[in-house]
Amino acid sequence: IDSGSTHSFIHEDLARQTQLRFEPRCNVRATVAHGESIRCAGVAAEVPLEIGKYRCYCTLYLLPLAGYSGILGYDWLKRVGPVKWNFEAKTLEFEQDGEFYRL
């Protein structure tokens, strides 16, 4: 989870390995940690995501992420709504549709 990332991403190799359906034409560019601007390799809409008991659908952009399978960005956090971060415990808590989640 990266609140500084405007979009959510999936590693392009993982997207291909899992045969994720994506649109290869994508005009979104991402600025990565060292400042380089990279054009996304594609975009996948309505990707089912499951983290513990939490489930949702996300739009994920394909990037060659170094060291990560995916990143949930600000677009996902905005949909989740108010959250409680505990950086010491490395948890994120929120309530959605009457259900409490701790990731």
Structural domain of 14: 9-102
Question: Which among 71, 68, 72, 96 has a CA at the least distance from the CA of 82?
Answer: 96
Q: What is the mean pLDDT of residues 48-76?
A: 94
Tally of domains in the chain: 1
Where b means 16+ CB within 10 Å and e means fewer, 86-101 reads: eeeeeebebeeeeeeb
Looking at the domain assignment, is residue 2 inside a domain?
Answer: no
pTM of the model: 0.88
Looking at the domain assignment, is residue 81 inside a domain?
Answer: yes
Q: Which two tokens stand for residue 41?
A: 């390799």
Looking at the domain assignment, is residue 4 inside a domain?
Answer: no
Q: What is the mean pLDDT of residues 69-93?
A: 95
Looking at the domain assignment, is residue 3 inside a domain?
Answer: no
pLDDT for the residue 35: 80
pLDDT for the residue 16: 92
- What is the tens place of the pLDDT at every residue in 18-29? 999 999 888 888
Q: Could you give the CA distance from residue 63 to residue 47 in angstroms, rounded to a whole number?
A: 15
